[in-house]
Structure 1
Amino acid sequence: MSRLGTESAFEVLAKAKQLEAQGKDIIHMEIGQPDFPTPINIIEAAYKAMKDGHTGYCPSAGVPEFREVVAQHITEMRGVTIHPDEVTVTPGAKPIIFFTILALIDEGDEVIYPEPGFPVYESVIDFIGGKAVPLHLREEVGFRFRLEDLEAAISDRTKLLILNSPQNPTGGTLTPEDLEAIAELAQKHNFYVLTDEVYSRILYEGKHDSILSLPGMKERTILIEGHSKTYAMTGWRLGYGIAPQAIADKITRLTINSNSCTATFTQLAGIEALTGPQTSVTQMVSEFQKRRDAIVDGLNAIEGVSCIKPLGAFYVFPNVTQLPISCEALADYLMEEADVALLPGTSFGKYGDGYLRLSYANSLDNIQEALGRMETAISKL
């Protein structure tokens, strides 16, 4: 258990809730979940499914109708034909991370993962005895990696590369050229790719590109997707993986041995999410873009803080290396002094040192208030 890490956002959220219980007015910028309600058509679909009696067990790989809809959706969105048998439904997208690493990695196998990055990647690799190899995402290239860094990280023990685009915590995205270079290396060195694309629809410029779409990559790619971010369904716990059938079967076996299945009525609501009106997604992304622009401008106006404009997701990752304290101390200081809950960059690995992560899944008014509080507090340092 000592090898298993945690996710700092939930720890900071708990601390913020304690301060609120003491009467403090905390602005929450630590937790990564849309502040929009789940669209009503999805809620009504779940309610109807429950009323119709869909409250029991279902096949561990997922409700057949939902797997068919997911396969069709990914086929259309990624431009590569997906069969329902290649879809495994899980309660949230995290189990796909966990189960893929469990299914593919033996003790001593190496897994390359992005850093700063979602902390669960490194946590699970360490937990099962793999060797976690961080791939430095660099601010000077828009929080992407340099190709030479990836080439240097690959060894004859490399079994898996984890990608995340759009990325948590930086909002960075990989380019088509990046993906082509990765695909060439994956085939040359014979490793799998786990591509985490849960923010694929929260994109502000251009279109989403997936390594799954490239020639020769379907056979060695596991795609993570889900409904939590796109449809504001974080608490519903509905995610899925797309994998070659041999790996999908292993993920299903792990599902049987852990959580049996994902709630049937949640999956039926998920069908409505994918096949029903998409206006809520468009409106949410439009609002996130306004917030992104406001928070980036506001952070860059604070002396000692600089922030590049993210291309996707709903996070900013400002550079605070010009300030006289560490990013961990700064995060604590802003919680205590400014009543703003956010995360130090080191919550996402050693390469996050010197940064903060703020989620702008909050109202424009609250964002402006938080920026004002932060500027006042930082001016005292």
Structure 2
Amino acid sequence: MKHPFIAKRYWKDQKTPMGDSDELAKSFDDVIDLSLGDPDQTTPESVINAAFEDAKAGHTKYTDFRGDPELREAIRKMYFEDFNLQFSDREIMVTASACLGMYLALEAIIDDGDEVIIHEPCFTPYPQQIRLARGIPVPLDTFEEDDFEIDPQRLESLITERTKALVINTPNNPTGTSFSKETLETVAEVAKKHELILIADEIYGAYSYQREFVPMASIPGMKERTITINSFSKDYTMTGWRVGHVIAPDFIIETIQQINENVVFTAPSVSQRAALHALRQRKTIQPPMVEEYQDRVLHAAKRINKLNNMSVLPPKGTFYLFPNIKDTGLTSKEISDRILQEAHVLTLPGDAFGKSGEGYIRIACTVGVDKLEEAFDRIEKIDLFQQSPKSIL
């Protein structure tokens, strides 16, 4: 919005399709919303009850600046038990969401004009978060024919003397891919060769269907140059609690803490207690949750691949699908608009996740199988998905 009271850097409209989705969801009374990654399930009742018992017991004040010590210890213990990764307490900080954790990490490491490589299609906030930290986002295209995995030669071709860091996100939002260990090892070699910091967004770590999830910090030689961003939002259905954590070398955590003291001070105390109880109960609450979302994406993928002019890769992780709609001859936005107007189903256009997302849409399987079936019953009635590519062209 152009106004003398608004900073000039915000005069240009920076809204995204993700930001507009809330209003679009109100377009019709019967909209099936498959746009945002906010699951229909609620936080497990046992977690809610335990958190509010803690609130009644007095956990309503500021916590330690790096987070509730019990929660930090539970995080440290989880990484050791699940991944045989050893972190010290000084390498862990709890943040008011993984989004804030990502921004704090970028703010801590970037000097003005530093370049940060992000593989696209990517989570929408990354480029602007880098700019807010006065860095320059450099997109690295990935492609469906490569399962949206990173090509090491393409990665190296983007590295300059100003390249400071690389952001990777696996399992990936929006594509649903999950990088192979071989890809992670290759990326690690590039990072070490060029002295890069690697920021690993691993908030969908529980949702890796075809292969075991491998944290980037577990790759040999990477623990000392990796900043891990994680969250309780998706792994424990806790989006509204707004709590995540950052794991990094202690000098980076110390810097992040100093920045955070001037932003939000500490993450919400009650949310931290909920996160603590979720971690302690993860062996019982996560398996049925993961099974449910895997069932959803498998059902949705099957329905997509029965349509004409739309196809999708076999689901590897997360609860997102990234269908290819190029055979329609229309843009991502045009397809999303038609699906909304004709089927009353809300999706996101692929270019919301970077230029390389053009030709795709993102579907969030955040409703039950019955609702997904209803959504695709409506979508398959659209003439575009009943015609062959030749008849359209």
TM-score of Structure 1 vs Structure 2, range by shorter chain: over 0.9
SS at 2:261 equivalent: helix
Q: CA deviation at 1:93?
A: 0.5
Q: Tell me which of 235, 242, 249 is aligned to 1:237.
A: 242
Are 1:12 and 2:43 an aligned pair? no
> What's the CA shift string for 1:233-268, capped at 9, x where partnerless?
000111000010000011111111001111112212
Are 1:179 and 2:166 an aligned pair? no
Matching residue of 1:357? 362
Superposed counterparts of 1:215-234, under 5 Å: 215-234=220-239
SS at 2:200 equivalent: strand
Q: In 2, Cα distance between the equivalents of 1:280 and 1:11?
A: 32
Matching residue of 1:268? 273
SS at 2:118 equivalent: strand
Q: In 2, Cα distance between the equivalents of 1:193 and 1:7?
A: 26
- Measured on the aligned residues, the alpha-carbon RMSD in Å equals 1.5
Superposed counterparts of 1:144-293, under 5 Å: 144-276=149-281, 278-293=283-298
Paired letter, 1:312: G
Are 1:116 and 2:121 an aligned pair? yes
SS at 2:246 equivalent: strand
Q: In 1, Cα distance between the equivalents of 2:165 and 2:17?
A: 25
Aligned residues of 1:6 and 1:120 also touching (Cα < 8 A):
no
Task: Classify 1:257/1:6 alpha carbon distance in 2 versus 1 (closer, same or farther; 3 Å).
Answer: farther
Matching residue of 1:305? 310
SS at 2:326 equivalent: coil
Q: Tell me which of 61, 79, 86 is aligned to 1:56.
A: 61
SS at 1:318 equivalent: coil
Q: CA deviation at 1:276?
A: 2.0
Matching residue of 2:107? 102
Task: Classify 1:316/1:37 alpha carbon distance in 2 versus 1 (closer, same or farther; 3 Å).
Answer: same
Q: In 1, Cα distance between the equivalents of 2:152 and 2:231?
A: 29
Task: Classify 1:249/1:349 alpha carbon distance in 2 versus 1 (closer, same or farther; 3 Å).
Answer: same
Aligned residues of 1:103 and 1:247 also touching (Cα < 8 A):
yes
Task: Report which stretch shifted further, 127-136 or 320-329.
Answer: 127-136
Gap regions ≥5 residues in structure 1: none
Are 1:30 and 2:39 an aligned pair? no
Normalised to the residue count of structure 1, the TM-score between the two structures is 0.95
Q: CA deviation at 1:5?
A: 4.5
Aligned residues of 2:103 and 2:133 also touching (Cα < 8 A):
no
Q: In 1, Cα distance between the equivalents of 2:86 and 2:17?
A: 38
Superposed counterparts of 1:329-340, under 5 Å: 329-340=334-345
Superposed counterparts of 1:78-93, under 5 Å: 78-93=83-98
Gap regions ≥5 residues in structure 2: 1-8, 387-391
Paired letter, 2:279: L
Q: In 2, Cα distance between the equivalents of 1:278 and 1:5?
A: 41
Q: In 2, Cα distance between the equivalents of 1:321 and 1:220?
A: 39
Aligned residues of 1:61 and 1:261 also touching (Cα < 8 A):
yes
Q: CA deviation at 1:180?
A: 1.1
Q: In 2, Cα distance between the equivalents of 1:379 and 1:82?
A: 51
Task: Classify 1:304/1:4 alpha carbon distance in 2 versus 1 (closer, same or farther; 3 Å).
Answer: same
Matching residue of 2:132? 127
How many matched pairs?
Answer: 377
SS at 1:346 equivalent: helix
- Find runs of 4+ consecutive structure 1 residues off by over 6 angstroms: none
Matching residue of 1:75? 80
Q: CA deviation at 1:278?
A: 2.6
Paired letter, 1:170: T
Aligned residues of 1:78 and 1:212 also touching (Cα < 8 A):
no
Q: In 1, Cα distance between the equivalents of 2:13 and 2:193?
A: 32
Aligned residues of 1:32 and 1:361 also touching (Cα < 8 A):
yes
Paired letter, 1:262: A
Aligned residues of 2:309 and 2:385 also touching (Cα < 8 A):
no
Normalised to the residue count of structure 2, the TM-score between the two structures is 0.93
Aligned residues of 1:170 and 1:310 also touching (Cα < 8 A):
no
SS at 2:161 equivalent: coil
> What's the CA shift string for 1:220-242, capped at 9, x where partnerless?
10001111001100001110000
> What's the CA shift string for 1:157-204, capped at 9, x where partnerless?
110000100000011111111111111111111110000000000121
Identity of aligned residues (%): 36
Q: In 1, Cα distance between the equivalents of 2:348 and 2:341?
A: 13
Q: CA deviation at 1:308?
A: 0.7
Q: Tell me which of 330, 336, 351 is aligned to 1:346.
A: 351
